[in-house]
Amino acid sequence: MLLRAVAFCVVLYSSLCGAEIKVIDDTGNAVTLAGPAKRIVSLAPHLTELLFSLNVGSRVVGTVRFSDYPEAAKSIPVLGDAFAISLESIVSSEPELVVAWHTGGANNIIERLRTLGIPVYVNEALDLKSIARSIKSLAVLVGKAEYGETLALKFEDEISRLQEVYVSTNKKVFFQISDQSLFTINDSHLIGQAISVCGVQNIFGDSPIPVPIVSKEVVLAADPEIIMISQPIDSERSPWIEKWSEIGGYADRIRLIDPALISRPSLRMSKGIKELCSLVWAQS
């Protein structure tokens, strides 16, 4: 603990004094800056959110599609999406730092950016603990290490309190993340971890595939007490609400949740898990 505290103080002191900043990203690469980043390009919606959580949203000069939270993020120039990002647009934004998501589709240009001498921090938040680590790393890179520690501890405390409230039971849940095909998640997926916090059983938790496609018949055979449908607030009503409701006894089992709250590895995840737990345990 003492060594950790000393290391944190060194990082904080360096950030305050404008000395060189160095962070190891989630792929093991060192990210070195001459000082706190003032111009940032974010290549993932959750990273945009985390930067706004650190109160440095005004430093973000470029984002990608779906970077829509908070409201101020919508006014930042969009440089592309997970499938097509303009290298030229990133370079012309003159960023001092680019933050990217390892599984978010930006890997094809990360090395090209590094070749051009642009520092790139690559994030990979695969579990709830990673979210806290992400905010701390970003905080160091923007010169707000102490504030990042505060936010991380608050997030971890919120998750811990939820785990204390919801004791594990055999109540079964099916989490549906698509209307076209019945995609769901296993326990290793971030949403699956959120379900575990709520103390209930994911009926496809043991699947070897993080996001498996399942059939209606298999879901019905498992007979879940809750069917949680991921549906954006501003989207059309899911046709599966009627499909599940047509089955005897299932109309009262359906719940809806905004995927932005429960699938993005940002600090809002604690709010999303709290809502998920409330929906799972609400009386129909």
Query: How many Å separate Cα 145 from the centre of its chain?
Result: 20
CA quadruple 132, 133, 136, 141: dihedral, nearest 10: -140
- 170: pLDDT strictly greater than 60: yes
What's the pLDDT score for residue 11? 45
Q: What is the pLDDT of residue 39?
A: 98
Look at the block and give the residue holding tokens 């990217």.
Answer: 100
Nearest to 214 by CA among 248, 185, 252: 185
Query: How large a percentage of the chain has pLDDT more than 90?
Result: 82
What three-state secondary structure class fits 275?
Answer: helix
H or E segment at 101? strand 97-101
Q: What is the pLDDT of residue 18?
A: 53
Q: What superfamily does domain 166-281 belong to in CATH?
A: Nitrogenase molybdenum iron protein domain (3.40.50.1980)
Q: Where are the domains of the chain?
A: 2-160, 166-281
Q: What is the DSSP letter of 264?
A: S
Among all chains, which residue has been given the structure tokens 């007979």? 223
The answer on pLDDT for 1 being more than 80 is no
As a whole number of angstroms, the distance between CA 260 and CA 236 comes to: 16
Q: Where are the alpha helices (DSSP H) in the chain?
A: 2-17, 45-53, 87-92, 107-115, 128-141, 145-165, 190-197, 216-222, 240-245, 259-262, 269-281
Task: Indicate whether this model's pTM tops 0.85.
Answer: yes
Question: Residue 4 above 90 pLDDT?
Answer: no
Say whether 196 sits in a helix, a strand or coil: helix
Residue with tokens 């059309």, as numbered in its chain: 236
Q: What is the pLDDT of residue 9?
A: 42
Interval 142-156 mean pLDDT: 98
Task: Count CA atoms within 13 Å of residue 153 on its CB side.
Answer: 6
Mean pLDDT, all residues of the chain: 91
Classify domain 2-160 at the CATH topology level.
Rossmann fold (3.40.50)
State the pLDDT confidence band at 102, using cuts at 50, 70 and 90.
Answer: confident
List, for residues 37-53, the tens digit of each pLDDT value: 999 999 999 999 999 99
- Give Cα separations from 129 to 155, 206, 271 (angstroms): 9, 21, 15
User: pLDDT tens digit string along 204-261?
Assistant: 999 999 999 999 999 999 999 999 999 988 888 999 999 999 999 999 999 999 999 9
Query: In which residue are the tokens 């595939």 written?
Result: 209
Q: Do domains 2-160 and 166-281 have the same CATH topology?
A: yes
pLDDT at 236: 87
Residues 6+ apart with CB under 8 A from 72: 52, 57
Residue 16 confidence class, pLDDT cut points 50, 70, 90: very low
For 23, phi then psi, to 5°, come to -135, 140
Cis peptide before 259 (omega within 30 of 0): no
